[in-house]
Structure 1
Amino acid sequence: MFPESSRYYDVELATWQTASNQTIVYLQRRFLPSSQRFEIIEEHLVSEGDRLDNITANYLNDPEIFWHLCDANNAMHPDELTAQIGRRLRIPLT
């Protein structure tokens, strides 16, 4: 259902049956992995105008895998990572 590069690639599907016998398919809940499990290869100091897609393209050669930075930095919401100028982002080995 999701490409291998997706944050949700390994998340299992589940179903729910409504009272009117309609089947609804949904994703199981995905928990953030412990940031301690990541090997950090570098840090990035957030500057004015930084965007996660550009950061991941620069360090990880793929703008679509920004969620690796989210996981390595305990961020549920990607925008949190670049909201504070001067924040140090952990860049994980993927």
Structure 2
Amino acid sequence: MLLKKSRYTGARAFEPQGDPGTFPGLRARRIEPLEGVIEHTVTDGDRLDHLAHHYYNDNGQWWRIVDANPELLDGGRLMHPDWVGEVILIPAAKRG
């Protein structure tokens, strides 16, 4: 069950096809094209929740940054130390 305003609303469901180790779930959701992007150079100690708080005033919006930079997910870890000095994209906050 999804919340009414979930970003996964509209994602298609999938059913396992004969593999007992899989479970029903949702397919990847559609990510809209970015508009009004800011470039941010990663510094030592940057965290996605801190960046989200800085740019959106809401640390729970970190997923917007991951949507724009899916390569930031490194084996489940966010913001690998090797990213220091790299430029990532920060999408504009949604209005309305």
User: What TM-score results when the alignment is normalised by the length of structure 2?
Assistant: 0.63
Q: Which amino acid letter does the alignment assign opposite residue 61 of structure 1?
A: N
Structure 1: runs of 5+ lacking an equivalent: none
Query: Corresponding residue for 2:11?
Result: 11
Query: Corresponding residue for 1:65?
Result: 61
Q: Work out which of the residue numbers 45, 49, 59 in structure 1 matches 2:45.
A: 49
Q: Per-residue deviation at 1:2?
A: 3.9
CA distance in 2, matches of 1:13, 1:42: 33
Overall identity of the aligned pairs, in %: 28
1:44–1:91 Cα contact (<8 Å) kept: yes
Alignment RMSD (CA, Å)? 3.3
| Count of aligned pairs | 87
Higher strand fraction: Structure 1 or Structure 2?
A: 1
**Structure 1, 61-70 or 51-60: larger mean CA deviation:** 61-70
Q: Per-residue deviation at 1:63?
A: 1.4
Query: Corresponding residue for 1:40?
Result: 36
Q: Which amino acid letter does the alignment assign opposite residue 40 of structure 2?
A: H
1:45–1:86 Cα contact (<8 Å) kept: yes
Given the superposition, is the C-alpha separation of residues 73 and 17 from structure 1 closer, same or farther in structure 2, using an over 3 Å criterion?
Answer: closer
Given the superposition, is the C-alpha separation of residues 72 and 42 from structure 1 closer, same or farther in structure 2, using an over 3 Å criterion?
Answer: same
